[in-house]
Amino acid sequence: MIPRRVSDRFARTVGKYQQILKSARDRDVNESNTVFIIRDMLAEVFGYDEHLDITSEFAVKRTHSDLAIKVDNTMEYLLEAKAIGLTLKENHLRQAVEYGANNGVPWVILTNGMVWQVYRIRFEQPINYDLVCSFDFSELDPKNMEHQERLFVICKEGLVKDAREEYHERVLTLNRFILGSLILSDEVVAIIRRELRKLSNGILVEPEDISRVLSNEVLKRDVVEGEEAAKAQARVKRFYCKSARKPRQKSTTETCQEAKPGAPPSQDKQSSEGTTKPQ
């Protein structure tokens, strides 16, 4: 839930900076002047203290971040800024991700003031990353809840409410790889098989045939093949195995207890017998 004061702040400041950014783009201001605008936006739109939370202390190496957001001695974001007239490219992202990875900061922002992209670095081999949130500031409507949610991912108040982590989890869950893996899971294939049987007045189709058609003719190849698809399939499989394991364990325990010779009655039976009123 976005606090009312944050929504009110968006209403006051988004339109203002849309005009500032448009003017800066028309004048094609350089990177240095763009950084000044971004710094002001971090304070006025996103709620950071300009003197305490926003720093350029990381700008000390050949490959550096233009700005950093540091709250209570914790580096929350590294921010790579480009001139407002420059299109954000893959090499700009690699630069930001490399610097975040080298400094152990998982959250990075790439922006030219107008376009904002928030990434979560995955510290694995090789280093990888997820695009968590992206928006064009000029297209934002401060009254639109979806637009507010994207802004809130970056906000100082959002850090307290774990907004970026929740948004990231949503991105990891609602994507083509997870949906594709769910569709190909045994559980969903069984549902499709049942519905096909109803549709065809009793014709029983084999699960393998349904899976084959889904993989080869319904879903795109990149959804079911490759590293990301494999990770999604493993996640879905773990979920269903975990879900199936709990009731199975309970059933097994009860079955073993009932089957054991001389086993005491269950707690429910003891309770029932113990509370029987005398005649």
The Cα–Cα gap between 35 and 4 comes to 28
Write down which residue in 161, 189, 218 finishes a domain: 161
The Cα–Cα gap between 273 and 92 comes to 73
151 and 200 part of one domain? no
Give the residue among 214, 194, 216, 215 at the shortest CA–CA distance from 205: 194
**Is the Cβ–Cβ distance between 127 and 146 less than 8 Å?**
no
Looking at the structure of the chain, the number of domains it has is 2
The Cα–Cα gap between 14 and 45 comes to 7
Mean pLDDT across 83-112: 93
Structural domain includes residue 118: yes
117 and 181 part of one domain? no
Query: Both tokens of residue 155?
Result: 């906000």
Lowest-confidence region among 111-120, 233-242, 260-269: 260-269
Structural domain includes residue 185: yes
87 and 124 part of one domain? yes
Write down which residue in 105, 128, 161 finishes a domain: 161
Structural domain includes residue 92: yes
Model pLDDT, residue 124: 86
For the cut 90, the answer to whether the pLDDT of residue 270 exceeds it is no
Residues spanned by the domain of 191:
175-245
Residue 142 is part of a domain; what is its CATH number? Answer: 3.90.1570
pTM above 0.75, yes or no: no
The Cα–Cα gap between 252 and 238 comes to 20
For the cut 50, the answer to whether the pLDDT of residue 62 exceeds it is no
108 and 202 part of one domain? no
Query: Tens of pLDDT along 177-206?
Result: 889 988 999 999 999 999 999 999 889 899
For the cut 60, the answer to whether the pLDDT of residue 165 exceeds it is yes
Interior angle at CA 157, CA 96 and CA 149, nearest 5: 75
Mean pLDDT across 143-149: 95
Structural domain includes residue 220: yes
Model pLDDT, residue 160: 87
Structural domain includes residue 208: yes
What's the mean per-residue pLDDT of the chain? 85
The Cα–Cα gap between 187 and 142 comes to 41
Structural domain includes residue 267: no
Model pLDDT, residue 121: 95
31 and 153 part of one domain? yes
40 and 96 part of one domain? yes
Model pLDDT, residue 58: 63
Model pLDDT, residue 1: 85
At residue 129 the predicted structure's pLDDT band, cuts being 50, 70 and 90, is: very high
Structural domain includes residue 88: yes
The Cα–Cα gap between 207 and 190 comes to 7
Of all residues in the chain, the percent with pLDDT exceeding 70 is 85
Query: Tens of pLDDT along 11-59?
Result: 999 999 999 999 999 999 999 999 999 999 999 999 999 999 999 866 5
Model pLDDT, residue 244: 75
99 and 185 part of one domain? no
Exposure string over 29-47, b if 16+ CB within 10 A, otherwise e: beeeebbebbbbbbbbbbb
149 and 199 part of one domain? no
How many CB atoms sit inside 10 A of residue 56's CB? 14
49 and 179 part of one domain? no
Model pLDDT, residue 65: 56
43 and 65 part of one domain? yes
130 and 44 part of one domain? yes
13 and 138 part of one domain? yes
